[in-house]
Amino acid sequence: MYCDYFNSCGSCTLHSISYEEQLLRKLSALKELFGSLYVDDLDIFRSPPIHYRNRAEFRIWHEGDKISFAMYGFDKRPVLIDACPKTDVAISKLMPNLLQNIEKKSVLKERLFSIEFLSATEGILVTLVYHKSLNQEWEDEAKLLERDFGIHIIGRSRGVKKVLSSNAVWDCLHVKGKNYRYYLEESAFSQPNRSVNSQMISWVMNRVENAPRKDLLELYCGHGNFTLPLSNYFEKVLATEISKASIASALKNCQANERENITFIRLSAQELTQALEKERDFKRLKDIDLDSFSFSHLLVDPPRAGLDEKSCAFASRFETIIYISCNPQTLLRDIKTLSATHKIKAMAAFDQFPYTHHLECGVILTSA
């Protein structure tokens, strides 16, 4: 990927070497980090080197009557940009024309702080974030902008969210010969690299399809990104997530994909652990018989902080643990804890964020 702003924009930190070189550097660091725990081959999943992000956010910089997209540079100062080759093709094409049209309308331009993009197979969601209140005049002009570009616009200011036509977009992932539809809500987390996301799901599916299995427990399930495809391989699935928006999306996705063996619950990982250990009763579980599940597999995809000590102890009870991690350091910490009961059977590297030091990981652990 070539970008005019490689030497100034701080978003891409590995811009001085080719994609293959930077990937080899990251893989080398990962192998060294886990060298004492895993010496077998890594499964490696590459990203497209350009137009790979379907989610992006840019500051808006004002100079007189002109506005520009901006990113922070290596010196922490704003770098004005007119393009970003990391964004997927749909966002990349939309960015300059959208900004030009916003610039022509003072009510849309005034005190505009940032623009967020979420691109999916069935539309683009654009969130305009302001440091002012949004009145009827703003809404009228934003609706015209929405119509002219065929997009969905949301306006945000302090304490206010104005949804003009839709709060979400539908995305479709093709994984192992099947299509899965996902309802992606503006305020809920979704994977930013569609290509690598499909590869992550495929890797997990390939690793469980021929293994002995009963039911699946998933913690941090989000909108059902892994849940829906993996439900093909298990008798029943129990999936939990603390975010209301994510659970609402997950239920829509379950219905859209006609899955009947998944139960979604809005509980944190810690709360579910307490429920399964009979330490606490939860009203949200009154119609769910936890004793009816016979779990053989646990899937966790936690935030960067990883698992807490009690969740690690809980995870150690499962025959097979599937751990998806966005932070190799906390993954290493947790696997060292789990190594008392489990060993690494397979490990993968997913290059979600090219031209950065970041590398996502997947690990399959089986009871020793």
By annotation, the residues acting in catalysis are 326, 360
DSSP, collapsed to helix, strand or coil, labels residue 30 as helix
At residue 334's C-alpha, the angle toward residues 35 and 19, to 5°, is 55
Q: Is residue 274 exposed (0-12), middle (13-18) or buried (19+ Cβ within 10 Å)?
A: middle
Per DSSP, helices labelled H in the chain are 19-33, 89-104, 106-109, 136-149, 194-208, 227-230, 244-256, 269-276, 309-315, 328-338
Measure the CA–CA gap between 145 and 147, rounded to whole angstroms. Answer: 5
Beta strands 112-120 and 262-265: pairing type? unpaired
Give dist(CA 185, CA 62) in Å, integer. 29
Which of 156, 113, 164 lies closest to 133 in space, CA to CA?
156
What is Dmax (Cα atoms) for the chain?
66
Residue 213 host element (H or E): none
> Which helix (H) or strand (E) covers residue 1, if one does?
none
Q: Residue holding tokens 């097979």?
A: 320
Q: 238 near 263, Cβ under 8 Å?
A: yes
304 contacts: CB under 8 Å, gap ≥ 6: 326, 327, 330
Collect all residues with Cβ–Cβ distance below 8 Å to 286 and sequence separation of at least 6.
none
Two structure tokens written together for 153: 């616009």
- Assign 329 to helix, strand or coil: helix
What stretches of 209-339 show up as alpha helix (H) in DSSP?
227-230, 244-256, 269-276, 309-315, 328-338
| Residues 69/59, Cβ–Cβ less than 8 Å | yes
